[in-house]
């Protein structure tokens, strides 16, 4: 089964890709062997993140249109908040991308966070690598935009685009340290709203110290995604950054971060909180560090 699925994926068969993603999501026996045989592909991952209501889905929809216009094959992973009842994705935002679902050059997959505290899917690295192997020119990952997903996406994406809106001033102040570290491109969406120019100016002033420490200034761009305004400039900025990444050490930090996340995930896969609770209930040990010592050997 796995050999056949791998060959189908490498040939761009989206039905086999969809099936394999489901098998990887559910950690079906043998999936790791398939992943170990995936060839390296140069496809870049674009991370789109930002607070709820910033217009991420509308902007992704416009980006897909731009890429399709240039005859590109596009893979899209949309990470949604999980339903508290069945851990399935709540797919309301995906309606905005409905025109692309049957397009031959576009593959869209919604993933639930499944309770992941960071806001990304626990198997997002593996699924993104499957997408790359399927021969897409670009892979877009749109996050749910809550918790630490803004920081987590930096460990996955070659280019991280942070979407904000003009009213997000206070939010930026509380998030700015993390945002400055992970954003490769800032986008102020809904830039037809009042005070957009003032917000862009203040954002650039806030980022000025980071510009001085970096060889490359972080672009701050304006878009009105619902009108497809500014999308051409944004796409050019993404391509420019992707070319830049090839000549910097960020890609090695990216690989190191992915390696760390996967090693951590695999080492922890047999440990369950419920089992730890039961063990504490029957343990006479009162020292937390003595208790965990056996799990660290």
Residue range 129-136: mean pLDDT, rounded: 94
Which of 142, 154, 184, 139 minimizes the C-alpha distance to 44?
139
What does the alpha-carbon distance between residue 127 and residue 111 come to, in Å, rounded to a whole number?
10
Kindly tell me if the per-residue pLDDT of 190 is higher than 50: yes
Q: Look at residue 94 in the predicted model and tell me its pLDDT.
A: 54
Q: Look at residue 89 in the predicted model and tell me its pLDDT.
A: 42
φ and ψ of 285, to 5 deg: -75, 135
Residue range 48-64: mean pLDDT, rounded: 90
**Of the given ranges (61-75, 81-95, 256-270), which has the lowest mean pLDDT?**
81-95
Taking the C-alpha atoms of 74, 75, 80 and 86 in order, what is their torsion angle to the nearest 10 degrees? 140
pLDDT tier, 85 (very low <50, low <70, confident <90, very high otherwise): very low
What domains are defined for the chain?
1-38 (no CATH), 40-248 (3.40.50.300)
Grouping H, G, I as helix, E, B as strand and the rest as coil, residue 185 is strand
Q: Look at residue 59 in the predicted model and tell me its pLDDT.
A: 94
Question: Which tens digits make up the pLDDT trace of 168-185?
Answer: 666 566 555 566 667 899
Return mean pLDDT, the chain. 83
What does the alpha-carbon distance between residue 110 and residue 119 come to, in Å, rounded to a whole number?
13
As given in the structure block, the two tokens for residue 133 are 């192997």
* Core vs surface per residue 35-61: b (16+ CB within 10 A) or e: beeeeeeebbbbbbbbbeebbbbbbbb
Residue range 189-209: mean pLDDT, rounded: 87
Kindly tell me if the per-residue pLDDT of 36 is higher than 50: yes
Q: 10 Å Cβ neighbour count for 5?
A: 19
Which residues have a Cβ under 8 Å from the Cβ of 45 and sit 6 or more positions away?
128, 132, 139, 140, 141, 156, 157, 158, 159
Map tokens 């397009």 to a residue. Answer: 103
Q: Look at residue 237 in the predicted model and tell me its pLDDT.
A: 97
What does the alpha-carbon distance between residue 282 and residue 275 come to, in Å, rounded to a whole number?
11
Which of 278, 266, 251, 238 minimizes the C-alpha distance to 48?
238
Instruction: Kindly give the interhelix angle for 2-10 and 14-25, rounded to the nearest 10 degrees.
Output: 130
**Of the given ranges (80-94, 235-249, 268-282), which has the lowest mean pLDDT?**
80-94
Kindly tell me if the per-residue pLDDT of 90 is higher than 50: no
Kindly tell me if the per-residue pLDDT of 221 is higher than 60: yes
96 in Cβ contact with 57 (< 8 Å) = yes
φ and ψ of 295, to 5 deg: -80, -10
- Sheet architecture: strand order including 220-222: 106-112, 74-80, 138-142, 44-49, 159-164, 185-188, 220-222
What does the alpha-carbon distance between residue 140 and residue 64 come to, in Å, rounded to a whole number?
9
Q: Look at residue 220 in the predicted model and tell me its pLDDT.
A: 93
Q: Look at residue 122 in the predicted model and tell me its pLDDT.
A: 81
Instruction: Give 119-138 as a DSSP string.
Output: SS-TTHHHHHHHHHHTT-SE
140 in Cβ contact with 108 (< 8 Å) = no
Q: Which range in 81-90, 146-155, 213-222 is most confidently predicted, on average pLDDT?
A: 213-222
261 in Cβ contact with 124 (< 8 Å) = no
Structural element, H or E, at residue 253:
helix 250-267
Q: Look at residue 172 in the predicted model and tell me its pLDDT.
A: 62
Q: Look at residue 16 in the predicted model and tell me its pLDDT.
A: 96
Reported pTM: 0.84
Kindly tell me if the per-residue pLDDT of 193 is higher than 50: yes
Q: Look at residue 112 in the predicted model and tell me its pLDDT.
A: 73
Which residues have a Cβ under 8 Å from the Cβ of 2 and sit 6 or more positions away?
30, 31, 33, 34
| CA angle (152 as vertex; 128, 252 as ends), nearest 5 | 70
Q: Look at residue 95 in the predicted model and tell me its pLDDT.
A: 56
| CA angle (72 as vertex; 67, 76 as ends), nearest 5 | 70
| Between 167 and 209, residue with greater pLDDT | 167
């Amino acid at each position: 089964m796995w050999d056949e699925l791998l060959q189908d994926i490498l040939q761009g068969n989206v039905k086999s890709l969809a099936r394999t993603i489901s098998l990887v999501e559910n950690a079906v026996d043998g999936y790791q062997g398939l992943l170990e045989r995936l060839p390296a592909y140069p496809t870049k991952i674009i991370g789109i993140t930002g607070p709820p209501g910033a217009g991420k889905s509308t902007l992704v929809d416009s980006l897909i249109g731009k890429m399709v216009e240039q005859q590109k094959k596009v893979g899209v992973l949309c990470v949604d908040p999980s339903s508290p009842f069945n851990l399935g994705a709540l797919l309301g935002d995906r309606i905005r991308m409905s025109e692309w679902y049957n397009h031959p050059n576009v593959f869209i997959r919604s993933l639930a966070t499944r309770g992941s505290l960071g806001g990304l899917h626990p198997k997002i690295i593996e699924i993104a690598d499957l997408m790359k192997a399927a021969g897409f020119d670009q892979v877009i990952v749109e996050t749910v935009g809550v918790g630490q997903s803004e920081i987590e996406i930096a460990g996955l994406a070659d280019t991280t685009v942070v979407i904000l809106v003009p009213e997000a001033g206070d939010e930026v102040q509380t998030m700015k340290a993390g945002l400055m570290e992970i954003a490769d491109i800032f986008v102020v969406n809904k830039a037809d709203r009042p005070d957009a120019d003032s917000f862009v100016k203040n954002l650039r002033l806030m980022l000025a110290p980071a510009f001085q420490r970096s060889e490359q200034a972080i672009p701050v761009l304006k878009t009105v995604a619902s009108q497809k305004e500014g999308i051409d400039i944004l796409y050019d900025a993404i391509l420019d950054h992707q070319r830049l990444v090839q000549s910097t050490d960020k890609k090695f930090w990216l690989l190191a971060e992915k390696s760390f996340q996967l090693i951590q995930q695999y080492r922890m896969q047999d440990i369950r909180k419920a089992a730890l609770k039961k063990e504490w209930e029957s343990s006479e040990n009162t020292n937390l560090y003595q208790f965990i010592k056996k799990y660290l050997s």
